[in-house]
Structure 1
Amino acid sequence: MINNKVLGIILGGGQGSRLYPLTKDRSKPAVPIAGKYRLVDIPISNCINSDIKRMYVLTQFNSASLNAHIKNTYHFSFFSSAFVDVLAAEQTINSDEWFQGTADAVRQSMHHFLQNDFEYALILSGDQLYQMDFNDMIKKHEESGAEITIATYPVNAKDATSFGLLKTNDENIITSFIEKPGEELLPNWTSDVGEEMDKQGRHYLASMGIYIFNRNLLKKLMDNPDTNDFGKEIIPQAIENHKTLSYQYEGYWTDIGNIDSFFEANLGLTDDVPQFNLYDSNGIYTRPRILPTSKISGTILNKAVIGDGCIIHAEKIDRCVIGIRSRIGKNSLISNTYMMGNDSYESLKDVADNKIDIMMGIGDRCYIHNCIVDKNCRIGDDVRINGGRHIDNIETDTYLVKDGIVVIKKDATITKGTIIG
């Protein structure tokens, strides 16, 4: 079934510099998460589970791997109107510039959107972790007679300065909005968020960057070439003249904007009952791969999420997410680590003929702690990586340390006996 009233528009973001080096060779929505998915799978899956099966993904930075992932993943029936298409920034008669912001990305792509019949545009971010039934949000939008609906999330004072904050009246209609206020302004922006949220100290309503626009209004707003961003310009200006509803969401949601939040979101999946629950009837979809089951020999596993096709001989794996096709050698200790895995297996003949000095994966007798290991890395035997706040931020050709997290760069080789931290 397809909800033909709604068109999904997923914003791929810009350079994603706060997630560097994970975004060095790929766009932010293409960053691997949870051992087998990509970030873009989250909003696409939420749409599919809400019967919204016509989607555009807007991107302009390192989009090749994202294009390939979407092409290889989201196939619908030949007799269906469903699609997931990538729209990269393009030169046209009307514009020869890159996307200048979230609203400008939508503006430059409007001629593609308007080729479709729809009543509402659902605009989503490509770098958030959450599970939401958009049908309820759409229903509230229709019932209220709103022209715009913004999904909102209660946050605490520490986080409030990083978001657009809003206030509402008794009918949840937004009356005022401010983008990323300073701490001194926060006392004026508290909201009635409900008893449970109040107990948690989450007194501020933040915009989640999830919007519903009526088609005609979006078209009208996009006619103004001087507004480039939804949060900074479109939303603050629109609430003055257009009925804008707040749709308060209280489930799990995190904005994966930096290395620290990305790291914690992934390791959170190892909890007994994770806040972001992959083990749900409304699952997350991704590329179907024909991989063997994982093979684990003599390893103590504690709070470990293991992807398909892994070969593991480690001594212990503790609170780790291990991605597809990962290889971990004997007597290695791995903890608090997200290992993204590999894109392919290495030839057993090349290994037997000693053509490969350091195999993809983690070697024998290694100690890896507080670490993100990007795709296709080679970590030699006897390597010790001990991440933590005791290490200064630093970047080399093969790794980066940020806020105590060691990130091994994609395709990097860490030579045997290396010590980091």
Structure 2
Amino acid sequence: MNADQVIGVVMAGGRGSRLQALTRTRAKPVVSFGGEYRIIDYTLSNCFNSGIRRVGVLTQYEAHELIAHLQRVWALRALHPGAFVEAWPAQQGEANGWYRGTADAVRQNLPAIQRSGASHVLVLGGDHVYNMDYRDLLAGHVARHADVTVACTEVGLPEASRCGVLQTDAAGRVIAFAEKPRHLESTPDRPDRAHVSMGIYLFRVEALVAGLNARGGSLDDFGGDVVPWMIKRHRVFAHPFVDKDGAPRFWRDVGTVKAYFEANMALLDPAVRHELCRPEWPLITDRGHAPPAVLESDASGCEAMVLNSLLACGARISGAHVNRSIVSRDVTIGSGSIVEDTVLLPGAVVGADCRLHQAVVDENCHVPDGTIIEWRGGGSAMEGAPVLVTRESLRGEVTPRLRLVESN
């Protein structure tokens, strides 16, 4: 069996409230990432590079910008007969309301899936950063005569408590699956680690229909409801996402501001860039028409300096110092500013003589001249978390832990 018999369904309708202001007016999958991309570009590029050319993107919350991105970047990628990348909004028909969960979202679009004639359905998250050849997943699924295959990775126990944790037997068959469990089962050889679902599920269509119709169609979530129900009734297997040496490959769920910040900063690691930016596995996005990045001296002759950072097209840095930062498309940094360990999203403007450390600056925010951005108040709960800078915080509408200080 080849990828032509698979239809991809991408979950892109969630509110993403844990990303706070970054998703106030946009869907989480279309949030900028890595200077040049949108989060959903990773999943859709994986589909395209794996030969899966029929993809429905399930949209709901603040979908306008996401739909525009799909039309601008992805619609023309599916030009050969029968191929498509389409937005599938919540149907809102007489029998349907808003999507109640991941499984309900697929259930509402089941007629479109069945009309495609695909024999298998690949359910994917639109808010994860990774590179995967789904053909490897498909090959293992077919070889095991599986009804469902769940892609999984290995994480530390603290992170596992926020995920779907699974246990397998010696043959790789899933024997238990618990969503965000209170009591964790570690891996047999690593007491500090657990196997967790990546939110990637490959179903035989018949098995998918059975799971969606179970208990009168009341099972609304794949991880919390459908997959646990199917374990005792169907052949459910795990597919470890590992390299040739058996080590976990790079995969990040960027569902919180801290996780989003850390995943961006991970791109400064050459090993991660090698994993995610491979010529044979292109990452497709809207490149636009921005000019090359510019590093220039300011009016006084002070030169711009950039170390250990990523610069996107259209960035302009004049007499400023930048270290360990992600400078996205069309960002401007003014003279005398120092930017360290910071993610600047597209169109952000940092004025002259500013100091930014460990921050995420939202799209098109203008940081005034002389502004210092720093954490105040301490507390271990936020250790390692960045300052999230938005238009509201720049107007003084901030949390007690964030203090913005203007030095002039």
TM-score strictly above 0.5: yes
Counterpart selection for 1:324 from 322, 329, 335: 329
Q: What does 1:9-20 align with in structure 2 at a 5 Å threshold?
A: 9-20=9-20
Query: Structure 1 residues 77 and 403, CA, compared in 2 at 3 Å: closer, same or farther?
Result: closer
Tell me the distance in 2 between the aligned counterparts of 1:278 and 1:389: 36
User: 1:158 offset after TM fit, Å?
Assistant: 1.8
Given the alignment of the two structures, is residue 191 of structure 1 paired with residue 177 of structure 2, yes or no? no
Counterpart selection for 2:311 from 294, 306, 309: 306
Aligned to 2:244: none
Tell me the distance in 1 between the aligned counterparts of 2:56 and 2:28: 16
SS of the residue 1:4 aligns to: helix
Contact 1:379/1:414 (<8 A) preserved? no
Tell me the distance in 2 between the aligned counterparts of 1:79 and 1:177: 39
Aligned to 1:419: 405
Aligned to 1:221: 211
Q: CA RMSD in A?
A: 2.4
User: 1:290 offset after TM fit, Å?
Assistant: 1.4
Query: Structure 1 residues 264 and 213, CA, compared in 2 at 3 Å: closer, same or farther?
Result: same
Q: What does 1:259-270 align with in structure 2 at a 5 Å threshold?
A: 259-270=257-268
Given the alignment of the two structures, is residue 89 of structure 1 paired with residue 110 of structure 2, yes or no? no
Given the alignment of the two structures, is residue 382 of structure 1 paired with residue 389 of structure 2, yes or no? no
**Structure 1: gaps (5+ residues):** 343-359, 394-400
Aligned to 2:350: 362
Tell me the distance in 2 between the aligned counterparts of 1:78 and 1:13: 25
Q: Would you say how many aligned residue pairs link Structure 1 and Structure 2?
A: 384
SS of the residue 1:146 aligns to: coil
Tell me the distance in 2 between the aligned counterparts of 1:261 and 1:124: 19
SS of the residue 1:277 aligns to: helix
Tell me the distance in 2 between the aligned counterparts of 1:340 and 1:164: 31
Aligned to 1:338: 343
Aligned to 1:296: 295
Q: TM-score under structure 1 normalisation? A: 0.86
SS of the residue 2:343 aligns to: strand
User: 1:420 offset after TM fit, Å?
Assistant: 7.3
Contact 2:333/2:351 (<8 A) preserved? yes
Given the alignment of the two structures, is residue 146 of structure 1 paired with residue 146 of structure 2, yes or no? yes
Contact 1:174/1:239 (<8 A) preserved? yes
Tell me the distance in 2 between the aligned counterparts of 1:205 and 1:339: 33
Aligned to 2:169: 169
Tell me the distance in 1 between the aligned counterparts of 2:273 and 2:158: 20
Tell me the distance in 1 between the aligned counterparts of 2:378 and 2:148: 47
SS of the residue 2:92 aligns to: coil
Contact 2:4/2:52 (<8 A) preserved? yes
Contact 1:129/1:276 (<8 A) preserved? no
Contact 2:53/2:85 (<8 A) preserved? yes
Contact 2:250/2:272 (<8 A) preserved? no
Query: Structure 1 residues 84 and 55, CA, compared in 2 at 3 Å: closer, same or farther?
Result: same
Aligned to 2:133: 133
Query: Structure 1 residues 410 and 37, CA, compared in 2 at 3 Å: closer, same or farther?
Result: farther
Query: Structure 1 residues 388 and 134, CA, compared in 2 at 3 Å: closer, same or farther?
Result: farther
Letter in 2 for 1:89: A
User: 1:246 offset after TM fit, Å?
Assistant: 0.7
Contact 1:7/1:121 (<8 A) preserved? yes
Letter in 2 for 1:419: V
Query: Structure 1 residues 329 and 203, CA, compared in 2 at 3 Å: closer, same or farther?
Result: closer
Structure 1 runs (4+) greater than 6 angstroms displaced: none
User: 1:77 offset after TM fit, Å?
Assistant: 5.6
Tell me the distance in 1 between the aligned counterparts of 2:260 and 2:192: 21
- Cα distance per residue 1:305-364 (max 9 Å; x no partner): 00001111142100000010111111110001100122xxxxxxxxxxxxxxxxx61111
Query: Structure 1 residues 170 and 270, CA, compared in 2 at 3 Å: closer, same or farther?
Result: same
Q: TM-score under structure 2 normalisation? A: 0.88
SS of the residue 1:142 aligns to: helix
**Structure 2: gaps (5+ residues):** 242-247, 297-302, 397-402
Letter in 1 for 2:12: G
User: 1:144 offset after TM fit, Å?
Assistant: 0.4
SS of the residue 1:273 aligns to: helix
Query: Structure 1 residues 142 and 420, CA, compared in 2 at 3 Å: closer, same or farther?
Result: farther
Contact 2:130/2:276 (<8 A) preserved? no
Letter in 2 for 1:115: R
Q: What does 1:240-279 align with in structure 2 at a 5 Å threshold?
A: 240-249=232-241, 250-274=248-272, 277-279=275-277
- Cα distance per residue 1:235-264 (max 9 Å; x no partner): 111001000011111211111110000001
Aligned to 1:80: 81
Query: Structure 1 residues 79 and 229, CA, compared in 2 at 3 Å: closer, same or farther?
Result: closer
Aligned to 1:406: 387
Tell me the distance in 2 between the aligned counterparts of 1:123 and 1:333: 43
Report the identity percentage: 29
Query: Structure 1 residues 379 and 123, CA, compared in 2 at 3 Å: closer, same or farther?
Result: same
SS of the residue 2:283 aligns to: coil
SS of the residue 1:136 aligns to: helix
Aligned to 1:208: 198
Counterpart selection for 1:373 from 361, 365, 370: 361
Query: Structure 1 residues 420 and 253, CA, compared in 2 at 3 Å: closer, same or farther?
Result: farther
Q: What does 1:225-244 align with in structure 2 at a 5 Å threshold?
A: 225-244=217-236
